Structure 1
Amino acid sequence: MQGYVRQDGKLGIRNTVQVVFLVECAHHVAKRIAESFTADVQYFGFPGCYPSDYGHRLVRNLCTHANVGAVLLVSLGCENFDRNRLHQEIRQSGRPCETLVIQETGGTAPSIAEGCRRVREMLATIAATPRRAMTFGDLIIGTVCGGSDGTSGITGNPAVGRAFDRLLADNAICMFEESGELIGCEPHMMARAADESVRRDIDAAMSKARDYYSTMGLGSFSNGNAVGGLTTLEEKSLGAYAKSGDGKISGVIRPTEIPTKPGLYLMDVVPDGEPRFGYPNICDTSEIVELIATGCHIVLFTTGRGSVIGSVIAPVIKVCNNPQTYARLSDDMDINAGRIISEGATLDDVADDILRAIENTASGMPTKAEKLGHVEFVLTYKDFDYGKACCR
């Protein structure tokens, strides 16, 4: 594995230019600029006119992610996103950054033309980015599940857990999330806490998730889960929990808080404060983006029913839990964990497949989602008290 060496010390496994719109009004221009190039140029953005602190942190972390070599910011001109502050933060990370203001450039067509010119210059600049060898200990790996079914808790999810255990032994940083889907698993997680302070943090995060879901009427059990053979919320929660493996939990983090020490971390994705409208129901895509904004080089996405999403910035490796689903959607799936059922493979066999896929992906091999051109992103409004202690 050969990483791209950034001036801020990060090591990336991709070398992309990101075209970032700072309000929905600039979405079309950013999209047209990015789609004028190859997969080395992607686009994402913040749709609202009034970003929260969380929103700014999320966009900043995505723009300065290890897999990002340069950034073109696309502003309409009158939105409230602080483009000058963001521009400065990106430049301070050592990345080339340019800002394009549509209202000053002359509208749609001139802005697209000027944006394409600047991106061409950025691609030429980052082509000279130095490389150096990487190990698993240099990686941050996240996991999320979507479209779970009756096979998820006995194939792909525990296989990801086995892979996590082995990554942690190599000093990697691993993170799992979906606190709302882990309700009921609190005693198991607290028993694995590295110390008493982490135990309290897990308890507090899960208590917040229970309150939020109860007050807002949110749920993590879909019709598709039931059709796929899951019978209870407890069964689904335990299946989701299996992705975390057996290692000690080193801390609880919130989106955009990047751990600095190797270990296993629970990401608390439920907003702080009193439950209130504005936090959407579970969305796999937004949670993938939050994992990436928290430093993940790669995201392991497990699915039983099947999912075809990918993401901007960090590759998504899809682990298919069900052999029948894999047969139907093999062009979208990277790993057939369902062979535990159909072929008698072991969890360790599939963990080997997962680690091999991570190594290949980190070495530059595109995932199925990357080959198909998937660059999904969803950025949401949330609020977190980042003044509280974390990442103990």
Structure 2
Amino acid sequence: MRGWQRQDGSKGIRNVVVVAYLVECAHHVARAIAERHDGGEVHLIGFPGCYPNDYAQKMMERLCCHPNVGAVLLVSLGCESFARNRLLEVVRDSGRPASLLVIQDKGGTRSTIEQGRDWVNATLPALAAMPTVPITPADLVVGTICGGSDGTSGLTANPAIGRAFDQLIAAGAAGIFEETGELIGCEGHMADRAATPELAAEIIASVDKAARYYTTLGHGSFAVGNADGGLTTQEEKSMGAYAKSGASPIVGLLKPGDQPVGGGLYLLDVVPDGEVRFGFPNISDNAEIVELIACGAHVILFSTGRGSVVGSAISPVIKVCANPETYRRLPDDMDVDAGRILEGRANLDVVGTEIADLVEAVADGTPTCSEALGHQEFILTYKSFTPAGPSCLPASAR
């Protein structure tokens, strides 16, 4: 495997240009810049809100400085409250080429789009000329999520991803699994796998918080589509989602934008801290993919039974299809047919190894189905988190 060395010591498996809008009013201009360019990968991300938010600021800083990002163009309207100059400074300090266009200062829509396209087209050749360096599994951070789950998800794709996680982590990678709201009832099992008693207590507290949060909202992760797909209870869905974590010890608990401090298995808590607030969202697969990427994930393993076609900006998404009938209906969108386990054509170990091997192939440049189809979904909204304490870190990093 080969990738791109970054100034902070990390290595990227892609070398994309990010065009980032800093308020919804700049979205159209940023999209027009990103859609027309002379070759190379250009991805659109952004934050729609006008009011400042510490979570969004941290997320944008982490995303713009992600190992898979080679250069960044920021697009501002000019009167929003986002700390654009701070973000620009953070990106430049990371060693990446970066520029800021303020629409109100650049002559409006047409002029800003023209200047943005010129900057992107001038930057792409420099990224293409960058040398590559060797990458090993120990350089990788791999995230996992499930969406469009059905009765087959916990039997095939999720446990197969768990086997892949165990292999990758044994080779030195960091693995991140998430959505404490989809793990309600599994907190005791996760606590038993925690590397320290302090971490075990933090895991239980994070799931308890998720249960309170979704009780207040009046709905949680168990959706109509899950029931239509054969799932019967929240507990059944939780056990299936839990299977994605494999069997490795859990060494840390992250919040969005936190970075793993080494290899091993981490749980990502995506449920906001504090009371439920207007404008703070319920669960969303696309938003959680973004949060995994903000934690440094190079690749996302996405388990689906009903069928999901989304990908993401910045990091490739590998679709692991749990249901063989879904795989046959949506073959262009699915990377791995885990459903063949149900039909006796493979077992969990075989599919787990296939997934782990595909992670390495994607890290070496093989496009995923969602990449080949041009998927670059992205959602970032308001949230609020208190910083994770030292008990959430691996013992060696405290």
Same fold (TM over 0.5): yes
Residue 59 of structure 1 is matched in structure 2 by: 60
Secondary structure of 2:206's aligned partner: helix
The question of whether the paired residues in 1 share the 8 Å contact of 2:10 and 2:139 is answered with no
Relative distance call for 1:39 and 1:221 in structure 2 (3 A) is: farther
**Mapped partners of 1:361, 1:369: distance in 2:** 12
> Where do residues 225-374 of structure 1 align in structure 2 (5 Å cutoff)?
225-374=226-375
Displacement, 1:135?
A: 1.0
Q: Which amino acid aligns with 2:261?
A: T
Which secondary structure does the structure 2 equivalent of 1:342 belong to? coil
CA shift, 1:352, in A, is 1.5
Contact 1:211-1:275 within 8 A present in 2 as well: no
- C-alpha distance after superposition, 1:134-184 (max 9, x if no partner): 111110000000000010011000000001111111111000001001000
Which AA in structure 1 matches 2:338?
Answer: A
Q: Which runs of 5+ in 2 are unaligned?
A: none
Q: Distance in 2 between matches of 1:301 and 1:124?
A: 32
SS of 2:144 mapped into structure 1:
strand
Give the structure 1 partner of residue 5 of structure 2.
5
CA distance in 2, matches of 1:281, 1:200: 24
Q: Distance in 1 between matches of 2:109 and 2:333?
A: 35
Secondary structure of 2:318's counterpart equals strand
Q: Which amino acid aligns with 1:391?
A: L
**Structure 2 matches for 1:46-125, cutoff 5 A?**
46-125=47-126
Q: Tell me the distance in 2 between the aligned counterparts of 1:391 and 1:173.
A: 13
Mean CA deviation greater in 257-266 or 304-313: 257-266
Alpha-carbon distance between aligned partners in 2 of 1:284 and 1:218, rounded to the nearest angstrom = 16
CA displacement at 1:51 relative to structure 2: 2.8
Paired letter, 2:172: N
Assess if the C-alpha contact under 8 Å between 1:216 and 1:277 holds in 2: no
TM-score under structure 2 length normalisation: 0.97
Counterpart code for 2:20 = V
Partner SS, residue 138 of structure 2: helix
Secondary structure of the residue that 2:342 maps to in structure 1? helix
Matched, 1:20 2:24: no
Q: Which amino acid aligns with 1:249?
A: I
Match of 1:157 in 2: 158
State the superposition RMSD in angstroms: 1.0
Partner Cα separation in structure 2 for residue 39 and residue 91 of structure 1: 21
Q: Is the 8 A contact 1:33 1:115 kept in 2?
A: yes
The DSSP-based 3-state class of the residue aligned with 2:320 is: strand
How far, CA to CA, are the matches of 1:276 and 1:50 in structure 2? 15
Per the TM alignment, residue 62 of structure 1 is displaced from its structure 2 partner at its CA by 0.5
Tell me, which stretches of 5 or more residues in structure 1 are unaligned? Answer: none
Letter in 2 for 1:48: G
Which is worse superposed, 217-226 or 313-322?
A: 217-226
Q: Give the C-alpha shift of residue 363 in structure 1.
A: 0.7
Aligned to 1:144: 145
Residues in 1 aligned to 2:52 and 2:351: alpha-carbon distance in whole angstroms: 41
Q: CA deviation at 1:387?
A: 6.2
In structure 2, the partner of 1:391 is 393
Looking at structure 2, the residues matched to 358 and 142 of structure 1 have their Cα atoms a distance apart, in angstroms, of: 11
Once residues 364 and 388 of structure 2 are traced to their aligned partners in structure 1, the CA distance between those partners, rounded to angstroms, is 37
**Equivalences for residues 195-234 of structure 1 within 5 A:** 195-234=196-235
| 3-state SS of paired residue (1:308) | coil
Identity %: 58
Contact 1:155 1:338 in 2 (8 A): yes
- Separation (CA, whole Å) in 2 of partners of 1:189 and 1:182: 9
